[in-house]
Amino acid sequence: MTRVRTFALAALAATLSLPSAEAAAVVGQPAPEFSVPDPTGATHSLTAYKGKFVVLEWVNFECPFVGKHYGSGHMQKLQKDYTGKGVVWLSINSSATGKQGYYASDKVSALVKQKGAAPSAYLLDTAGSVGRAYGARTTPHMFIIDPKGTLIYAGGIDDTPSTDQADIATAKNFVSKALDEALAGKPVTTTTSQAYGCSVKY
């Protein structure tokens, strides 16, 4: 990590004048195409899911914010509920090789199973290219794509930034609300929110 102290703003400016502002996926625009492998080596591309709602969930099982949503069984329930309604749920791990949350592909499937996770697929974005194309900055960071391939939600999983499972009951879940609205053919009320979590370990 590059640490920049604010009493050295000149150095900061030098850092920030480098090419920055990673592209972020834009709500209302076509979602960036991608093609990445799952742990078995099978490739998943976004175009293959055209005609379906697709959820992208950035995940790192070692992050306490992710632990909040998996430790409570909340994330697994969302995955089961919505894949049961025909939604494609893709969990994406953008941890670089050797960084926190990275696992060799032969170990991932067992870990996903141990977690009771139920995504349509768990994808390995070790190069971080999908994460950077979408502007994924945290785990979790959530995106929803409609059947035409348009991004309809980008942001946090809910409105309560914390690592405390007890907060889930009272939090307003942006993802389930957006999916419920979209599946009912209604416009999405909240199309973006501040994502909260650990940094993605690019």
Partner 1 sequence: MRDPGPSARLYLRTAAAVCAFASSVAAAPPASRHVQPELVADVESIAPGRPFQAGLRLRMDPEWHTYWKNPGDSGLATRLLWKLPEGFQAGPIEWPYPEVFKQGPVTSYGYTHEVLLPVTITPPATLAAGTSVTLAARADWLECREACLPGRRELSLVLPVRGEAARASAQSAPAFAAARARLPQAGAGWAIEARETKERVVLVVRPPRGQAEIRQAYFFPDRGQLIDHAAAQTWTRAASGGGYRLEMTPAPNVARPLGSLEGVLVAEGSSGATAIRVEAKSAKEKP
Footprint (CB under 8 A) of partner 1, residues 178-197: 191-197
Q: Which is nearer to partner 1, 2 or 84 (CB)?
A: 2
* The one among 37, 64, 77, 83 contacting partner 1 by CB under 8 A: 64
Neighbour-count burial of 172, counting CB atoms closer than 10 A to its CB (0-12 exposed, 13-18 middle, 19+ buried): exposed
Determine, following the binding rule CB under 8 A, whether residue 127 of this chain makes contact with partner 1: no
Determine, following the binding rule CB under 8 A, whether residue 137 of this chain makes contact with partner 1: yes
Q: Which residues of 125-145 are buried (b: 16+ CB within 10 A; e: fewer)?
A: bbebebbbbbbbbbbbbbbbb
Determine, following the binding rule CB under 8 A, whether residue 37 of this chain makes contact with partner 1: no
* The one among 79, 91, 138, 173 contacting partner 1 by CB under 8 A: 138
Q: Tell me the window of 24-32, 44-52, 74-82, 168-176 that interacts with partner 1 (CB under 8 A).
A: 24-32
Q: How far is the CB of 117 from partner 1 (least distance, A)?
A: 12
* The one among 77, 83, 109, 128 contacting partner 1 by CB under 8 A: 128
Determine, following the binding rule CB under 8 A, whether residue 164 of this chain makes contact with partner 1: yes
- CA gap 54, 50 in Å, rounded: 9
* The one among 107, 113, 148, 186 contacting partner 1 by CB under 8 A: 107
Neighbour-count burial of 14, counting CB atoms closer than 10 A to its CB (0-12 exposed, 13-18 middle, 19+ buried): exposed
Residues 6 or more apart whose Cβ sits within 8 Å of residue 118: 76, 79, 80, 83, 89
Determine, following the binding rule CB under 8 A, whether residue 162 of this chain makes contact with partner 1: yes
- CA gap 159, 88 in Å, rounded: 23
Q: What is the dihedral of CA 158, 162, 164, 167, to 10 degrees?
A: -40
**Positions that interact with partner 1 (CB under 8 A):** 1-7, 9-10, 12-13, 15-18, 20-22, 24-27, 61-65, 67-68, 71-72, 98-100, 102-104, 107, 111, 114-115, 128, 132, 135, 137-138, 154-155, 161-165, 191-202
